[in-house]
Amino acid sequence: MNIKYKKIIFFVIFLILLIFLKIDFRFSNSIFCCSDDFDYYMHAETISEDFDLNYENQLKGLEDTRYNSNSKVAPIGYIGTGILSAPFMFIGNLIESLIGNFFESSDLMNYKLLIYSFSPIFYLFAGCGLIFKTLNLLNIRYKNIELLLIFLGSGVSYYAFERFSMTHSYETFATSLTLYWSAAYYSGKKTNLATWFIPLSVLIGLTIKWTNYYVLLIPPIVKLLSKSENRLITEKKFITSTVSSICLFLGLSYQVYGVITIDPRVSYQVQNSIVDLANTNLTQNFVLAYIDRIFTIFVSFEFGILYFMPVLAATILFSSFVFLKNIVKHRKIDYLHLTYLLSCFQLIFIVAMWRSTASSYGFRYLMGIYPLAILLYYHIRREYNIVYFHKIILTLSFFSILSVLFFETTPETQLSLERIFNSFGKFTKYTQPTYLTGFLGSFFVFESYLKIFTTSFFGALIFKILLMLLGRVNLTNLLESLGLPVGNEDFNIYINNLETIGFNKFLVTIIFIGCITIFLYRLLNNKNYQT
């Protein structure tokens, strides 16, 4: 590859990242009560600023809206995301205090928020790198660009590049980390370190979301897949690390919520049992109702996983087929596929129980398990001839990546602000039961491309430079002459924000995205990875 071609590839990656990086939640000065985003932000804030787990100053005046029990006030959301993102917020606060001595720093998109917003992007691609390494440890062949495409084909990038204060990039990282250390142990290549780090990886996954029980099944799945004879459970280091991890989990529970517990209902102060919740609003036989709901999860136009999370859908269907075939034809249990199905259906049951995509992009409760689905998919690809099927998976993965870009660009891809019936027949807000057709239709709407451009950091950067060179009046006149809608309120707010935000913050963003670009470029060209 010549130098000119390398530069073009590097620039293309850099440009794509800047287009995907959104300003929607970043053009602000904080994250406010009382969304899930706010809870994880509060965890990071108390750790990075107060160096404690006392939330009284963070939640002053908000005690009745969050967890308030056992003489403790705390965020409802779990602490793991806050622990992982706290170093980024600390750096942001440090830059903010230093930069104020040299540059005028506005409250809008302050360094605290900006650097904090980089955290899920870092963990997203760290998880991606770990998946590459995991497949290498297990001697599973792949093509670099295809694996990256499949990795991003779950929709999780939305929660890194746009709605950054959510758990899903961190869940993906935790799953990838647990997969990596499990593969390191069962491949026999890093057994000593792995015995220590497998329990800690599982701990990270569970602190991010207490209900992600599937992380407990990752080591046995990797063992079954690798056909290793190693017995992790007999390792003294593993037992010590496991006991330490359990104690740490319970200690965090006590420090945050004032009670030692593993019950995920505690933080939400929910009294209903899982049976009660599962039977809520049932109008037909339990089994038939949940079969119908699972069918909706797979094929509905509202982010059906067959279209928007293709590897997860494909591996579930394939594993179900293989498992049933072995039962019927060979009278034996395929424990690999059974364990994988149990992992997946633990999350699918939660989605089916709530009957919702969870008021944002995609079936977000399912995104954390995607790295495990990728591992199983490549195992299946190694064992079976699925060349043409693989091409379909790649196409759908690309399709899924594009759907993130076009999300909320037209009324047909916008989540409803009023109560309507979603795909499950539930009357609720923040849903879009015809997203698939709306997404396809948005390809032919000019306004959708304009929205993609203006809400991206790339577009904001271009407008910022033009604003600095031409001034507001001349820029407005130029855009008006091109027939662009410059007279509406949203555009004026947009320009006001750009005038307020210093160029130094754009420069910091460019540097960070440049670093991610270097990482991805090296990842895709690294000869140590299978090609």
Token pair for 195: 């015995």
Chain segment 293-352, per-residue pLDDT in tens: 999 999 999 999 999 999 999 999 999 999 999 999 988 999 999 999 999 999 999 999
pLDDT of residue 100: 63
Share of the chain above pLDDT 70, in %: 98
Q: Which of 178-182, 223-227, 365-369, 484-488 shows the lowest per-residue confidence on average (mean pLDDT)? A: 484-488
pLDDT at 342: 97
pLDDT over 90 at 459, yes or no:
yes
**pLDDT mean over 483-487:** 78
User: What's phi and psi for 318, nearest 5 deg?
Assistant: -65, -45
Distance CA 494, CA 478 (A): 16
| pTM, two decimal places | 0.95
- Counting beta carbons within 10 angstroms of the beta carbon of residue 490, is it exposed (0 to 12), middle (13 to 18) or buried (19 or more)? exposed
Tell me how far apart the alpha carbons of residues 101 and 95 are, in angstroms, rounded to a whole number.
10
pLDDT band at 529 (very low <50, low <70, confident <90, very high): low
| DSSP code of residue 529 | S
What is the tens place of the pLDDT at every residue in 93-144?
999 888 766 666 677 899 999 999 999 999 999 999 999 999 999 999 999 9
- Give the up-direction half-sphere exposure of residue 93: CA atoms within 13 A in the CB hemisphere: 14
Give the mean pLDDT of 238-253.
97
Cis (ω within 30 of 0) for the bond into 34?
yes
Burial of 253 (0-12, 13-18, 19+ CB in 10 A): buried
Q: Which two tokens stand for residue 392?
A: 């379909």
pLDDT at position 531 over 60 = no
**Dihedral sign (CA 180, 183, 188, 192):** positive
Q: What is the mean pLDDT of the chain?
A: 93
Mean pLDDT of 275-282: 79
As a whole number of angstroms, the longest Cα–Cα distance in the chain is 77
CA distance 442 to 284: 37
Residue 527: pLDDT over 80: no
Q: Where along the chain do its domains lie?
A: 1-21+456-531
**pLDDT (average), residues 46-54:** 96
> Can you give the pLDDT at residue 489?
85
Would you place residue 279 in the very low, low, confident or very high pLDDT band (cuts 50, 70, 90)?
A: confident
Select the more confidently predicted residue: 284 or 359: 359
Confidence class for position 389, pLDDT limits 50, 70, 90: very high
* 3-state secondary structure (DSSP) of residue 136: helix
The model's confidence at residue 480, banded by pLDDT at 50, 70 and 90, is confident
Q: Which residue(s) pair with 226 in the sheet?
A: none
423-430 average pLDDT score = 95
| Model confidence pLDDT, tens digit, residues 154-172 | 999 999 999 999 999 999 9
Residue 1's pLDDT band, with cuts at 50, 70 and 90, is low
The pLDDT assigned to 284 comes to: 78
Alpha-carbon span 366 to 77, nearest angstrom: 17
Cβ atoms 86, 58 nearer than 8 A: no
Please name the residue ranges forming H helices in 331-410. 335-354, 370-383, 387-406
| CA 426 – CA 280 distance, rounded (Å) | 12
Least confident residue range of 82-96, 183-197, 266-280? 266-280
Give the separation between CA 317 and CA 299, rounded to whole angstroms.
Answer: 12
User: With bands split at pLDDT 50, 70 and 90, how would you rate the model's confidence at 530?
Assistant: low
Residues facing 421 on adjacent strands: 427
Q: What tokens appear for 205 in the block?
A: 């996954």
